[in-house]
Amino acid sequence: MKKYIAMLAAAVIALSSGLGTYAQSSVKTDTAASVSSDKALADAIAAAKQYITVPEERKQVDYNIRQGEYGGMVTSVSWSNNDGSTDVALDKDGCLLSYHEYDNGKVDKKGLAKLGSDSTKKAADTFMKRVYAEGATSFKLEDSGMSRYTHRYSYRLYINDIPVTNGSASVSVDPDTGKIMSFDGIGKEFLSLKYPSAEGTVGINAAMKALYSDSAPEPRYIISTDYTEKKITKSAFLAFIVSDISKGINAFSGKETVVNNYFNEVNAKKMAEETSAAFDADGAGSGARNYTAEELAAIDDAADVISAERAQEIIKGYFPIAKNIDFKSSSITKDTYTEEYFIRITADNASALLNAKTGAVKSFGIYSEKPDTKSMPVSESKAKEITSELLNKIAPAESKKVDTAVYTGDKYSSYSYISYPRIENGYLCNNQQINFTINEDGEITNFNNNFDNKIVFPKPSGVLTDDKAIEALAKVFNFDLAYSVGQDYGVTLLYHFDKSGYMDSSSAVQLDYSGKPVKDTEVAGISDVYGHWSEKYVTALYNNGCKLNDTLFRPDQPITADELKTFYGGYKYMPYYIDSSEDTENDGSKEVTRYELAQYIMSYYGLDKLKDHPALFAPVGYSDVIKEEYVPAVAIATELGAMNGDNTNSFNGDKPVTRAEAAVALYNMLTAEQ
């Protein structure tokens, strides 16, 4: 096949780049199969070159033909050399589905990008028109992202002013050259499908009630984990959850249907997953610390921990299947979150974890070497009977705080599974449960207690119920009309959630993973710098990915330590005075002074050691007196052009730095690199 690829590559060079459909190949092959395969490659290469220019130096050509998500043929072609590759995928009609430029060992771009967002947006729009012709006007820009390396634009197809859930396209542009670096989209056939009118739909309220017809939405306790260098803290908050956005309601029948999400990259924000409890199925959490033999001896004397022999007795008393197991080794760990000691005992095919002081069992597991006979697992009633009896013995306190057991029988094996979800203040708790595995003989082979008894669950107040909860969820998670295209290219008009996440249990407010209200989701902007003296600098930085988490830039407002960290965060440099590894108690809301910014600039250039040698620096020439400890920093920031004085030639070192001044300093540092 390699000789045909070489011949095709040579033949395609002569093909016209203006062909509107797949070109015909005249390459001769030995068999009918080869003719079909070689022709597909030739046609794909010709079609691809309507959209892109392949670097001449990329001589190696590879391809494959596969069935696409919608059943149609997709041809992928890659041109490569040692420096990288140019990859495309096209559908059966020659429409570009994806294009990516890859460079091995990407050049580290210095300074600021040469093009602004207006130029790169124009390039992206032009490319969309090249792919979809007049159909490009049916796409709306939904999101954009700027960085030093790329400007990314995400579009969504709208028909009758209604979004198509799987009608997404995205374009990335090099901000130095304006070259298209990547594209991912849908076939042109999406534009010619029959989309039903929205007349006669059941309405949002009826659709939401249909979605929750089995039971009204109920909030759950979510566990939030906060990590610092020294400790782990957890807290709980009560929230409604929207996680499954693959379900929708047919807009005409009011019946539940499936939302097809093929090709949809920006349909939903990924919901933050709360960190699991401090213990996994086999033992202590990631905060566990191992001890030396000497430390274990000291712990044994001081902490009055149970012995390995006693741990074995406890396990064998609870789990008859372990009666003949010889636990050969043991170790003591301390969990840094709970600050409790745990003893782990292990055998060749089993392990267990117990509280080293109380003997309470956290987990047990035995790994049977007996072949699975694939007989039927024990019944639900029998499994619940077995586990509830042990639950009351092994975890008496937790057994009083569990909901009805959830049973799962594995039809592919002889095991069954029982989970007891935790209930606090009448509400379920996410990732808080006690789990059992039972074999075909009715023996418990695995046990895991995920309860975190250190967490305080706040008592709920004013929890939204029934219609009010449904109404709030629809508002927060954009439950509305959308078109969904199925694998047969059939179009369904439905209602569905456009995003997922958490909502406060008592108000229509979206929450983040920690339970805090999500800030205004409007894209951060800089419209308030237009006409301001700092417009040139702020705009250039914004186009390089530097922005503040705000809807406006507010150029004359003092910048805080946290804001400076965010603003400069697109680069590898970070002010030393807000380095969390040095000072975990630092107040991020502290306003940064001009002296501190000068010190940061000195650190930026790796000249920190000079800060202790002010005598090496001549007077910097400002009309006001510079404090001695800041003379090196001010001299360096001034000499390098990053900072200067006001109209009276005063440095004003103790004065807070405005956002505009911080922008100018960063702009000057980056342009100095070019």
The predicted structure's pLDDT at residue 210: 95
DSSP 58-122: --EEEEEEEE-TTSSEEEEEEEEETTEEEEEEE-TTS-EEEEEEEETT-----S--SS-HHHHHH
CB 177 within 8 A of CB 148: no
- Burial status of residue 511 (CB atoms within 10 A of its CB: 0-12, 13-18, 19 or more): buried
pLDDT (mean) for 272-297: 42
Selected residue with higher pLDDT from 402 and 286: 402
Selected residue with higher pLDDT from 524 and 121: 121
The predicted structure's pLDDT at residue 2: 36
The predicted structure's pLDDT at residue 650: 92
**Residue 275 pLDDT more than 60?**
no
Question: Mean pLDDT of all residues in the chain?
Answer: 82
The predicted structure's pLDDT at residue 616: 75
CA distances from 319 to 283, 364, 393, 447 (A): 17, 9, 11, 10
pLDDT (mean) for 464-469: 95
User: With pLDDT > 90 as the criterion, what percentage of the chain qualifies?
Assistant: 51
The predicted structure's pLDDT at residue 580: 38
pLDDT (mean) for 210-232: 87
pLDDT in tens, 134-158: 999 999 999 888 888 899 999 999 9
pLDDT (mean) for 590-595: 91
**Residue 19 pLDDT more than 70?**
no
The predicted structure's pLDDT at residue 29: 33
The predicted structure's pLDDT at residue 278: 29
The predicted structure's pLDDT at residue 391: 97
The predicted structure's pLDDT at residue 93: 85
Rg of the Cα atoms in the chain: 32
CB 165 within 8 A of CB 245: no
The predicted structure's pLDDT at residue 607: 83
Selected residue with higher pLDDT from 455 and 228: 455
CA distance 100 to 86: 6
The predicted structure's pLDDT at residue 547: 76
Task: Name the residue among 480, 479, 486, 522 with its Cα closest to residue 500.
Answer: 479
Alpha-helical regions (H) of 319-448: 380-394, 396-399
Task: Name the residue among 302, 395, 298 with its Cα closest to residue 355.
Answer: 395
CA distances from 171 to 101, 109, 122, 157, 349 (A): 12, 20, 11, 14, 53
Selected residue with higher pLDDT from 543 and 342: 342
pLDDT in tens, 472-500: 999 999 999 999 998 778 899 999 999 99
Selected residue with higher pLDDT from 265 and 573: 573
CB 164 within 8 A of CB 190: yes
Structure tokens of 556?
A: 């004359």
**Residue 414 pLDDT more than 90?**
no
CB 338 within 8 A of CB 330: no
The predicted structure's pLDDT at residue 674: 61
Q: Which residues pair with 366 in a beta bridge?
A: 350
In one letter, which amino acid is 219?
P
**Residue 20 pLDDT more than 50?**
no
Segment 15-22 long-range contacts (CB within 8 Å, at least 24 positions apart): 15/45, 15/46, 15/49, 17/49, 17/50, 18/50, 19/46, 19/47, 19/50, 21/47, 21/93, 21/94, 22/46, 22/47, 22/93, 22/94
The predicted structure's pLDDT at residue 334: 85
The predicted structure's pLDDT at residue 585: 45
DSSP 205-256: HHHHHHHTSSS----EEEEEEEE-SS-EEEEEEEEEEE--TTEEEETTT--E
User: With pLDDT > 70 as the criterion, what percentage of the chain qualifies?
Assistant: 81
Task: Name the residue among 265, 366, 351 with its Cα closest to residue 311.
Answer: 351
The predicted structure's pLDDT at residue 673: 66
Q: Which residues pair with 145 in a beta bridge?
A: 152
pLDDT in tens, 284-293: 443 444 555 5
Selected residue with higher pLDDT from 239 and 568: 239
CA distance 201 to 199: 6
pLDDT in tens, 444-453: 999 999 999 9
pLDDT in tens, 83-139: 899 999 998 888 999 999 998 766 667 778 888 888 999 999 999 999 999 999 999
The predicted structure's pLDDT at residue 4: 35
Structure tokens of 108?
A: 């580290």
